[in-house]
Amino acid sequence: MRDHLREIGMIARALDSISNIEFKELELTKGQYLYLVRICEEPGIIQEKLAELIKVDRTTAARAVQKLETNGLITKQDDPHNKKIKRLVPTERGKALYPVIIREHEHSTNVALAGLSDQEAEQLLRLLKRVRHNIEGDWDAVKKGKKRDY
Amino acid sequence: MRDHLREIGMIARALDSISNIEFKELELTKGQYLYLVRICEEPGIIQEKLAELIKVDRTTAARAVQKLETNGLITKQDDPHNKKIKRLVPTERGKALYPVIIREHEHSTNVALAGLSDQEAEQLLRLLKRVRHNIEGDWDAVKKGKKRDY
DNA sequence: TACTTTTTGTTGCAAATGCAACTAAACGGA
DNA sequence: TCCGTTTAGTTGCATTTGCAACAAAAAGTA
């Protein structure tokens, strides 16, 4: 049957669980790696966009970011032209963790894709991107209170 | 780049978020649908297996199941041959929710797979199953304290 | 300009999540 | 049989998560 979403859920929870356990020795608590990598890859990003990227509630992102700042891994910088937004930038300590996180992700990716040919791996990525794109609209709409009919 | 896992994470969080919001009107709180569907599909399953299926911590499953029982959606039944285990069985009220959950899932699946040909959808499912299988071992091992080298 | 709406960010709760640590039954050898 | 190990379940505690509700700056509109 069409168990695509169930499989995706299982994979996501398993890998998130692994990452959280493995990053504990980097003093990163649950979920923090998600935000830190994104801020490293897109320095100056604001909280709202970050939440949208990661697909997490705005307030959850707010607190994760707050904690990253408290722990000295990022800073919130005022924008010269916009008093409302705060640009998120990794500190040196934050930047130093980036390659470690990436290495772990690469390892997990290797494990996940074991036995798949290059073509299969590429095809999988293409399809996943399309699926992600397909659901982004619904996520946004439902989050904002829209009722879906089904 | 090999962003497979990131895409999977985004998709999983977005869809979980949607489901949690939509099932609120069924009086199901966060995550409960995950457990209830599985118990409906495999009545008599025990907590430990359930956690393994869903890829969630044993104690998290324990409390979710506890809540499902409190809310009258499942019962815990003693096994005649094994005093330790408790078999989880949906009540009539629990069973009644099953088709509603499935309908929502089907809708989300339709949205997610929109624009994919039948061949692509089937290929995606095959690949996801292999990926899930690939990582199950690591999840189990890391959960039990094993350190991965990378 | 004055106004409405949207965007961005925050805080107060209540709930879920998961690690530690603990029981007790079941299992697996000597 | 006895005894160590694994399996299954639970509770305490700290943390994360997210919905409501709010504030204030920015953007859009008349």
Cα dihedral: A133, A116, B127, A131 (round 10): 0
Q: Which residues of A touch B2 (CB under 8 A)?
A: 106, 109, 113, 121, 125
List the B83 CA – D21 C1' distance (angstroms): 49
On the question of pLDDT at A1 being above 90, the answer is no
- Across the range A24-38, mean pLDDT stands at 94
Closest CA to B50 of B13, B95, B85: B85
Query: Near strand D (CB < 7 A), which residues?
Result: A 29-32, 56-57, 59-60, 63-64, 67, 81-84, 143; B 13, 17, 20-21, 30, 46-49, 58-59, 62-63, 65-66, 76, 84-86
Q: What is the pLDDT of chain A when averaged over all its residues?
A: 95
A6, A40, A123, A131: which to substitute to probe chain B, counting the most B Cβ within 10 Å?
A: A131
Cβ of A116 within 8 Å of Cβ of B127? The answer is: yes
Q: Is B22 on the interface with A (CB under 8 A)?
A: yes
Question: Which chain B residues contact residue A57 at CB under 8 A?
Answer: 17
Q: Express each pLDDT in A114-143 by its tens digit.
A: 999 999 999 999 999 999 999 999 999 999
pLDDT at A31: 93
| One pLDDT digit (tens) per residue for chain B, 150 residues | 899 999 999 999 999 999 999 999 898 999 999 999 999 999 999 999 999 999 999 999 999 999 999 999 999 999 999 999 999 999 999 999 999 999 999 999 999 999 999 999 999 999 999 999 999 999 999 999 888 988
Residue type, B56: V
The pLDDT, as a whole number, for residue A96 is 96
What is d(CA B15, CA A63) in angstroms, rounded to the nearest whole number?
A: 22
Give the number of C-alpha atoms closer than 13 A to the C-alpha of residue B111, restricted to the C-beta side. 22
Q: What residues in B contact A120, CB-CB < 8 Å?
A: 127
Q: 69-128 in B: which are within 8 Å (CB) of A?
A: 103-109, 111-116, 120-121, 123-125, 127-128
In sequence order, what are the residues at sequence separation of 6 or more whose Cβ sits closer than 8 angstroms to the Cβ of residue B121? A2, A4, B113
Write the DSSP string, A23-85: GGGGT--TTHHHHHHHHHHSTTEEHHHHHHHHT--HHHHHHHHHHHHHTTSEEEEE-SS-SS-
